[in-house]
Amino acid sequence: MDQVRIHPIACGLGFAFLIENSQGLYLVDSGSPDQEGRVLAKLHKLGRQDLKLIWITHAHYDHYGSAAALREKTGAKIGVHPADEESMAAGKSPLGTFHSYGFIFPLAQNIVAQAHPLPATPPDFTLEDQGSLENLGLDAAILHTPGHTPGHTCLLLDGGIVFAGDLFGQSPRLRRQSLLATDWNGINSSIERLKSLQPEWVYSGHAGKAIPGSEFEKI
């Protein structure tokens, strides 16, 4: 089996996750705008320039903000679920409705976007639920997990590692997405669907450390 290494990269308001194998490099999300230098620095440190893919888990400011700049500098293809394609292509970051202190995020997004605007980022391709990335050299599949956004997805690596975007949070405690959603009922359904796959390790979009699947089961 091809050895896979995961490199979490803090990129502004969110994390990007660089997946390394013998076939190439693959990025899950890209952080906020103007953070591409952090990813490029990691590529340089690894001594590799073969970034093939930037998979976006969902069309939010802190998840696809640097994708267009990275595509321009590396030639990597950008992919997303079709339900979030229009938002990315228009440079939008729809947050839906908020609960609890989620009201902070629309305000914060407007403020930071003044200094670091979100660029229009039309994807190169889209994948539906259970779509595969094998043609790009990555043994991974897409799981459509709507709720936070209509096209929110998780990326499932062979071997049980999952990149779950904003399906759950880890601060101040491990919890289901409880702050922002376009469909609150969808959040619960999506979490239960991911649980049914019994992942071994799960990364959220705002922490550099994965949690064991046994912990995710408790959410």
3-state secondary structure the chain: CCCCEEEEEEECCEEEEEEEECCEEEEECCCCCCCHHHHHHHHHHHCCCCEEEEECCCCCHHHHCCHHHHHHHHCCEEEECHHHHHHHHCCCCCCCEECHHHHHHHHHHHHHHHHCCCCCCCCCEECCCCCECHHHCCCEEEEECCCCCCCCEEEEECCCEEECCCCEECCCCCEECCCEECCHHHHHHHHHHHHHCCCCEEECCCCCCCEEHHHHCCC
- CA distances in angstroms from 208 to 32, 84, 99, 170, 192, listed in the order given: 15, 24, 25, 10, 23
Question: Would you state the pLDDT for residue 48?
Answer: 96
Mean pLDDT of the chain: 96
Average pLDDT over residues 21-34: 97
Convert the pLDDT of each residue in 55-100 to its tens digit: 999 999 999 999 999 999 999 999 999 999 999 999 999 999 999 8
Average pLDDT over residues 5-17: 96
Question: Would you state the pLDDT for residue 102?
Answer: 82
Question: Would you state the pLDDT for residue 212?
Answer: 97
Average pLDDT over residues 152-172: 94
Convert the pLDDT of each residue in 130-158 to its tens digit: 999 999 999 999 999 999 999 999 999 99
Question: Would you state the pLDDT for residue 151?
Answer: 98
Token pair 């293809």 in the structure block, residue: 77
Convert the pLDDT of each residue in 31-46 to its tens digit: 999 999 999 999 999 9
Question: Would you state the pLDDT for residue 32?
Answer: 97
Question: Would you state the pLDDT for residue 173?
Answer: 85
